[in-house]
Chain A
Amino acid sequence: MLSMAKPVKYRSIVAINGPLIIVDNVHGVKLNEIVEIDVDGETRLGQVIGVEGRAAVIQVMQGTAGISIGRSYVRFTGDTLRIPVSEEVFGRVLNSMGNAIDGGPDIFGEKFDVNGYPINPVTRSPPRDFIQTGISAIDGLSSLIRGQKLPVFSAYGLPHNTIVSQIVRQAKLLKKQESFAVVFLTLGASYEEADFFRVELERAHVLDRTVFILNLQSDSTIERIIAPRVALTIAEYLAFEKEYHVLVVMSDMSNYCEALREASLARGEIPGRRGYPGYMYTDLASIYERAGIVSGKNGSLTQMPILSMPDDDITHPIPDLTGYITEGQIVLDRSLHLSGIYPPMNVLASLSRLMKDGVGEGYTRKDHFEIYTRLLSAYAEGLRNKELSTILGEDALTAEERRYVKFSEVFERKFINQGAYEERSIDETLNLGLDVLSVLK
């Protein structure tokens, strides 16, 4: 798959450390160059992550097990990692390196550098217009806007896989004449999870607009680091060359951050907060910032990364740094989950910062923003009163206050709560909102 392989081979591996090998006495090596490592006849890929004098530090994709000093040799390809991309990717299952693994033909097409380039701020168009997920709590209250990056903050034991699958299956544009695509990337998924997603996608008959990229638990650290870049390179091609409106769903970004930490510590870097590297903000930005709209091009790239908050802690570096880059967040809540609400979305802590630019007349419905404001403030009021009643007893509340408590319960049960296979159009969502608001009358 890689062209221009130079004939020079080196047998001068001088050190092996975790996922890293060091090759000495090399000539003309370039940073981020891809290398092929021959391990007793098997070829593995690696990437140059550092050049110190004559020595190259190489991170090996499929792990260093079996590599030996003196016997294995290394070939430098002279090229940074580039993958072929074309519209043939629809309906296909790819691995972290962008190669087909569904038994079908290889993907051919123009090759693109997986690292991409930053979008020039002056050619960015601010995100506009709406993507419907069919989930009321998201569409109505934290709307997803084209070109936005809106993460889902989940935690271990919460049903985020079900939500991810529901979003990947149901996501659509309201304007039918525009073309829509979903790039779905798993990060560190188990076989069961991968299989669950595959079956779900097949059953929903949405494969023809979907690219499914699998990064599995068993894949190596560096593959996990490269996988989002591969997914985004494909998405950028579809959005900015072929003018699709692309939604990239990546789950679970916490596994990506773990891989980043592992690679950083293996390189002997000085760790930052909780052992994560000091450049994690920059690194995450190089992924998330690939969302956006380029002016003059008719496509858009929207991202929905999913991550798990370790110990439900929203100030943990992973959600914290993510929140600084993304435009809002959708927060899942354990207590709602325990009371049987699906999706267990904490709508007060959730926020789509760009919502005002993508809802209302011309996008969703004229009264959307008003319904949103009324629902949220009434719910906040209801929760406050509920808290008061647990301290002071229900009798201490006025009739009015009790109505708000009632509202908050109905709102959770009818509006937030919905079936994992229930798709609500934005009209249905907003009507439902008006419906639950009538409790207050």
Chain B
Amino acid sequence: MGEVVLIGEKGLIGEVNRISVNRVFIQVYEDTSGLGYGEKVVALGRLLSAELGPGLLTQVYDGLQRPLEEIVKQADSFVKAGVRTRRLDHEKKWRFIPVDNPPNQVFGGEVIGKVEETKSLTHMILVPPNVRGNLVYLANEGDYTILDKIAEVKDSQGKVLDVKMAHEWPVKVPRPFREKLDPDEPLITGVRIIDFMFPIAKGGTAAIPGPFGSGKTMTLQQVSKQVDADVVIYVGCGERGNEMADLLEKYKSLIDMRSGRPLMERSIIIANTSNMPVAARESSIFLGITFAEYFRDMGYNVVLITDSTSRWAEALRELSSRMEELPGEEGFPAYLTSRLQSFYSRAGKVTTLNGRVGSLTIMGAVSPPGGDFSEPVTQKTLQTVKVFWALDSELAYRRHFPAINWLQSYSLYLENVAFWWELNVSEKWKILRENMLSILREEDELMQIVRLMGISALSDRERAVIEVSTLTREAFLKQSALDEKDAYSDPRKTIMIAEVIDYYREHLFEAVSNNIPLERALDPNINREILELKRLPLDKLIDAATQIKERIIGKFSELQRPVNAQYG
């Protein structure tokens, strides 16, 4: 099972998918036009594997780890079946620096040296996970290709194994680690509604179901640009070609916020557009997660973004129906859930075999047909993941971006990350978040009344809720990915804006409960200033926030005076 085969004269790549008496079923990862009865099939005796080593970063691969740039050189601008390329550069020399005190005994996953792969990331050279024994030789610092021997390990049977800078790993087999840890640190994306309201932990899993036109791709691109991770792997699975082209072009020109270096230096992109062979969608997903685990094993924080897992599920359905398997819900195979789980369960924060701490976070986009979240792929994904960012085309339609619906979304990591927020940002995070959400929930209920009976049916307090929630949406939740000043919101900035809004809310409510008419309590200047907060840099923000608070105190103490005098 799972063995790789080459088919026909062109040597199309396939994988053994089912074995029955005297027969094997092969799933072909390339276009099968022109194949016929009696073609030669060569079994390669290995599972579908990735080649892991220096040279992965900055690459754009297809689902079979063929560098797309290399395909252009070999063929032309179109991807034809049977193109063979190397996966990593075998000629390029890398500066290998061995560890200072090499141990006598090594085991799989141990770091024996490093290579500065790009200016942004140091590539740790790992002993392949399945190798252990006495380290009998370790190369000196020098320039080596990934095929050169850099170490020799003598195993318990006395057999000497060569260790190179690159090794093979079967994509469907999770790479081993020492221990799974509790994900307790938030992954900061700079998107306020994500970080503040529905946070994801490092090592967590999130689903983003987006009906078409809901800005899913925009949101994912914004996140991948800004996320607080060492390595970002983006798998474009079965999506639009022009979108991929746009992503590639943008990505290549983007500068990493943290290092000031090109973003590509810490990224790998896997591009399998919707018109490329269907079977390769699955391999692109598993290739991506294998890369991600490999960098996790070096002790890095890795984010894997897959857009979209629905296309993978549809590929499974297509193949399943061709293999005449009994269909489950809506024609999807019964093993859809377990297949999704086998993918998402590879996320996590772990202690690696070499004792470092690394994390792998998965953000999977889902494309529900007709925007209906009750369909099987969305539901089965939700069964598996812990965070749900419900994109809403209704919001997108009203030009509210990111169009994440705050009433439908959730995060199950709140408790995990609360300590981090309290320690590093503000001890008020939990209460501010709760206040903001309850205002938004209340607004939703009130709007139903307004729709039926008009705004005049509301009491002053209820109208104050509407005022505050409108302000929250405009000043806090809306965040344009295209606005340079606001695309990234530091957690400190996020919490400051939330705090000012909450401060204003508190005073408005108090005024209203003291029977001050809402018209008098509202101050368009305060509204305007709060609205402008998000476009300020962090250092100016502190002053501005303090000023607004002073203005609020000033305004409200003035309002209270006549009332107090009356009763005083």
Contacts and interface: CB of A to CB of B under 8 A. Distances in A.
Contacts of A240: 77
Interface string A43-66: 000000001011000000000000
Given A117-B79, A272-B330, A392-B454, A282 B242 contact: no
A53 B36 CA distance: 10
A320 B370 contact: yes
A120 B317 contact: no
B60 A122 contact: yes
Interface bin, chain B: 35 or more
Interface in B276-326: 276, 278, 311, 314-315, 317-318, 321-322
Contacts of A126: 242, 245-246, 249
A289 B273 contact: yes
Given A118-B79, A271-B331, A289-B241, A29 B36 contact: yes
Given A123-B72, A123-B77, A31 B330 contact: no
B372 A315 contact: yes
B174 interface: no
Contacts of B244: 121, 124
A122 B245 CA distance: 6
A281 B311 contact: yes
B517 interface: no
B34 A30 contact: yes
Nearest to B318: A279
Nearest to B277: A118
B455 to A, nearest CB: 10
A147 interface: yes
A270 B321 contact: yes
A117 B71 CA distance: 13
Nearest to B68: A122
Contacts of B38: 27-28
Interface string B238-269: 10111111101100000000000000000000
Nearest to B243: A327
A121 B454 contact: no
A182 B369 CA distance: 32
Given A117-B80, A119-B78, A124 B241 contact: yes
A173 B34 CA distance: 40
Interface residues of A, number: 71
Contacts of A326: 240
Interface string A106-150: 000000010111111111111100000000000000000001110
A273 B35 contact: no
B182 interface: no
Interface in A30-87: 30-33, 51, 53-54, 80
Contact of B34 (A32, A117, A329): A32
Given A30-B34, A31-B33, A292-B241, A122 B369 contact: no
B381 interface: no
A117 B68 contact: no
A310 interface: no
B170 interface: no
Given A120-B79, A278-B331, A354-B242, A51 B212 contact: no
Contacts of B367: 324
Interface string B54-82: 00000010000000110110000111100
B371 interface: yes
A396 interface: yes
A198 to B, nearest CB: 32
B33 A315 contact: no
B321 A269 contact: yes
Contacts of B321: 269-270, 278
B241 A119 contact: yes
B275 interface: yes
A413 B166 CA distance: 67
Contacts of B33: 30-32, 80, 113, 115
Nearest to B332: A278
Contact of A31 (B34, B245, B315): B34
A380 to B, nearest CB: 8
A1 to B, nearest CB: 19
B397 interface: yes
Contacts of B318: 278-279, 282
A292 B245 contact: yes
Interface string A296-329: 1100000000000000000111001101111111
Interface in A141-184: 147-149
Contact of B275 (A27, A80, A118): A118
A315 to B, nearest CB: 3
Contacts of B60: 121-122
A434 interface: no
A371 interface: no
A240 B454 CA distance: 58
A99 interface: no
B242 A118 contact: no
B314 A281 contact: yes
A299 to B, nearest CB: 12
Nearest to A314: B370
A270 B327 contact: yes
Contacts of B271: 121-122
A22 B246 CA distance: 45
Contact of A124 (B34, B71, B242, B398): B242
Contact of B242 (A115, A127, A270): A127
B61 to A, nearest CB: 10
B37 A396 contact: no
A317 B212 CA distance: 13
A118 to B, nearest CB: 5
A121 B248 contact: yes
Interface in A375-391: 377, 380, 388, 391
Given A278-B331, A323-B212, A285 B36 contact: no
Contacts of B212: 320, 323-324
Nearest to A281: B314
Contacts of A320: 212, 369-370
A392 B454 CA distance: 8
Contacts of B338: none
Contacts of A348: 397
B32 interface: yes
A245 interface: no
Interface centre among B37, B238, B249, B331 (most CB of A within 10 A): B37
Nearest to B38: A28
23 contacts: A26-B37, A27-B37, A80-B33, A119-B79, A120-B78, A123-B72, A123-B77, A126-B242, A240-B77, A269-B322, A270-B321, A273-B330, A278-B314, A278-B318, A278-B331, A281-B314, A289-B274, A317-B369, A320-B370, A327-B240, A348-B397, A380-B398, A391-B454
Interface of B: 31-38, 60, 68-69, 71-72, 77-80, 212-213, 236, 238, 240-246, 248-249, 271, 273-276, 278, 311, 314-315, 317-318, 321-322, 327, 330-331, 367, 369-372, 397-399, 454
User: Which A-B residue pairs are the 3 nearest by beta carbons?
Assistant: A315-B370, A285-B274, A124-B245
Given A117-B80, A282-B318, A286-B275, 20 more contacts: A31-B34, A33-B36, A119-B78, A122-B69, A124-B245, A124-B248, A125-B245, A127-B242, A149-B242, A270-B331, A289-B273, A289-B275, A290-B275, A292-B241, A297-B77, A317-B369, A324-B212, A327-B242, A327-B243, A377-B399
Interface of A: 26-33, 51, 53-54, 80, 113, 115-127, 147-149, 240, 269-273, 278-279, 281-282, 285-286, 289-292, 294-297, 315-317, 320-321, 323-329, 348-349, 351, 354, 377, 380, 388, 391-392, 396
